[in-house]
Structure 1
Amino acid sequence: MEVGIVAQRDNDRAAALARTLGARLDESDVRTRFDATTAAALDRADVGCSVDRFDECDLVVSIGGDGTFLFAARGANGTPILGVNLGEVGFLNAVGPDEAERAVQREVDAYRRGELSVQEVPRIAARTDDWVGEPAMNEVVVQGPRRGRGGGGRVEVRVDGALYDAGEADGVLVATPTGSSAYNLSERGPLVHPEVAGLIVNQMAAREGMPPLVLASDHDVTVTVTDVDYAVVVSDGRTKREVEPGTDVHVGLADRPVRLAGPAVDFFEALGKLD
């Protein structure tokens, strides 16, 4: 069995826990690999690799906050992920640091028995006629060259080809229920419970227009931005791609969900940390 470990960048506490978990897994005859940054922090270049190779592992452990989890998920690509929360909001990390060793060992034992239980969480992706974007756990944003004065344009939103709204805005955010508490919430979008199979369509800084829309997850949302030099498509705040004005950007379910190992996150307890 092989377990990949990702620790939050520049976090000594996360690195120390990664070292402890690695030693515990060695004792259990489990091969361990770390992402390159974590391996460098631990002086373990011999077992470091790109996170993109974590899909070769049987289990991935993410140590930190939701940002670290999103980073790990990009490389895991279907491999179950166990999230260890170091005190942040933690909508994706159900295990506390004090229970991390026991939790990881439980998942290892379950895997060896063929009884590893996972929860699938949907991802979304943008596509045009020419390319398909990187899957996002939280949101895909389609906007003008930048946010703020002079950065937006005319934005048209269609659902399965039917016009929902058109007008001046900075852009449009399409979020999953998982991402409803992230960027969407800062844009005054609704909170959606993670058990709801839906998508959130939220216009950003619209001059006028319709309110945020929640719809079933099997719909196709098309966003078209004009009156700009170019538009930008952003996946989970990280991967950015420029497109020509007037390009129809379709956003819908990605082919592969993220698979969560370990206990389920208490959604309402996590909400309490937003204050």
Structure 2
Amino acid sequence: MDVAVGIVAQRDNERAQALAATLIEALENATAVVDESTGAAINEDGVPVASMASRELVVSIGGDGTLLFVAREVGGTPILGVNLGEVGFLNAVDPGDAVAVVADVVESVRADGAVDGRRLDRLRAEGEGWSLEPALNEVVVHGPRRGHGGGATIEIRVDGERYAEGHADGVLVATPTGSTAYNLGESGPLVRPGADALIVNQMAATEAMPPLVVDRDAEIELSVADAETAYAISDGRNRRELEPPATVDVSVADEPVTLAGPRANFFEALEKLE
């Protein structure tokens, strides 16, 4: 039985596109398709990335940003990341090892019928009558803009209990995966992958409380006031405009992301950060 594989290469990256072409030729016991952009570059038929959600494995070739995009499109379908980026917290496979590693995972799926992967929590942000696409890194709630005159009054409640309230540019809630992303840029704590935790971090608050680490099952409520407008943003991409006063509820989403293949070395990746 052939295993259905999707391959997504970083847009306009010739090295990624060439590796996608190599994988298509090299994979046995697999029916592989590429995304539309890659297909146009390597003269193969391409399909929308979202349609790969029905496949048994999706290979993401590029940086962590490419994998974040793939995760948004394919949901819980297992993803294997090939690292062409600078750091590679999510993409554990070196390009030189990609053919062998992907072939091993395909053979494992063919033999066992499933991918043995690591599950990463995502965050769900919702308000009255709306919700954002799940976030693998973080959910941010902020005022009309960053900087002087652009913040809002934001109250933070955890499981119904108030943690902090005051004027800030915004507040972010991050997963352990997202601890090395926007959270780190806002002087938040590093959290090792696999920890059952979430991070709550104020952004440029006038009377800031320390960043808070809570259990993964916590219900976090962010209430925004004293601003003409505000925004809730998922992974820096999916955005909802708010009309304060407004409340955003953040919690762990039902469907995690599944990473296939070897795990990235967290501490080695940290050494590559500037």
TM-score when scaled to structure 1?
Answer: 0.96
Q: CA deviation at 1:220?
A: 0.7
Q: What residue in structure 1 maps to residue 175 of structure 2?
A: 176
Deviations 1:217-259 (A, max 9, x none): 1001111111111111111011111121111100110010000
Q: Is 2:29–2:107's contact at 8 Å kept on the other side of the alignment?
A: no
Q: What residue in structure 2 maps to residue 198 of structure 1?
A: 197
Distance, in Å, in 1 between the alignment partners of 2:207 and 2:244 is: 21
Work out which of the residue numbers 97, 102, 105 in structure 2 matches 1:104: 102
Q: What residue in structure 1 maps to residue 30 of structure 2?
A: 30
Distance, in Å, in 2 between the alignment partners of 1:116 and 1:133 is: 27
Q: CA deviation at 1:43?
A: 2.9
Q: Structure 1 counterpart of 2:227, which letter?
A: V
* Match status 1:128 vs 2:107: no
Q: Is 2:159–2:218's contact at 8 Å kept on the other side of the alignment?
A: yes
Gaps of 5+ in 2: none
* Match status 1:90 vs 2:88: yes
Q: CA deviation at 1:195?
A: 1.7
Q: CA deviation at 1:42?
A: 2.0
Q: What residue in structure 2 maps to residue 259 of structure 1?
A: 258
Q: Secondary structure at the match of 2:241?
A: strand
Cα RMSD after superposing both structures: 1.1
Q: Is 2:29–2:106's contact at 8 Å kept on the other side of the alignment?
A: no
Q: CA deviation at 1:29?
A: 4.3
Q: What residue in structure 2 maps to residue 212 of structure 1?
A: 211
Deviations 1:5-60 (A, max 9, x none): 111112111111111111112xx14222222222222232x2x2221112111100
Q: What residue in structure 2 maps to residue 153 of structure 1?
A: 152
Q: Structure 2 counterpart of 1:65, which letter?
A: G
* Match status 1:17 vs 2:19: yes
TM-score when scaled to structure 2?
Answer: 0.96
Distance, in Å, in 2 between the alignment partners of 1:146 and 1:32 is: 43
* Match status 1:238 vs 2:222: no
Distance, in Å, in 2 between the alignment partners of 1:43 and 1:170 is: 47
Q: Secondary structure at the match of 2:209?
A: coil
Between 196-205 and 110-119, the greater mean CA deviation after superposition? 110-119
Q: Structure 1 counterpart of 2:48, which letter?
A: S
- Counting only pairs closer than 5 Å after superposition, residues 30-109 of structure 1 correspond to structure 2 as 30-44=30-44, 46=45, 48-109=46-107
Distance, in Å, in 1 between the alignment partners of 2:109 and 2:64 is: 24
Deviating 4+ runs (over 6 angstroms): none
Distance, in Å, in 1 between the alignment partners of 2:29 and 2:217 is: 43
Q: CA deviation at 1:209?
A: 2.2
Percent identity between the aligned chains? 56
Deviations 1:149-203 (A, max 9, x none): 2221111111111111111101100000000000100000000011211000000
Q: Secondary structure at the match of 2:131?
A: coil
Q: Secondary structure at the match of 1:113?
A: helix
* Match status 1:5 vs 2:7: yes
Deviations 1:111-142 (A, max 9, x none): 00016311111111101121221001100001
Distance, in Å, in 2 between the alignment partners of 1:64 and 1:126 is: 27
Distance, in Å, in 2 between the alignment partners of 1:240 and 1:36 is: 25
Distance, in Å, in 2 between the alignment partners of 1:29 and 1:107 is: 11
Q: Secondary structure at the match of 1:151?
A: coil
Distance, in Å, in 1 between the alignment partners of 2:219 and 2:184 is: 22
Q: Is 2:64–2:85's contact at 8 Å kept on the other side of the alignment?
A: no
Q: CA deviation at 1:264?
A: 1.1
Distance, in Å, in 2 between the alignment partners of 1:57 and 1:199 is: 30
Distance, in Å, in 2 between the alignment partners of 1:234 and 1:13 is: 31
Q: Structure 1 counterpart of 2:18, which letter?
A: A
Figure out how many residues of one structure are paired with residues of the other and give that number: 271
Q: Secondary structure at the match of 2:92?
A: coil
Gaps of 5+ in 1: none
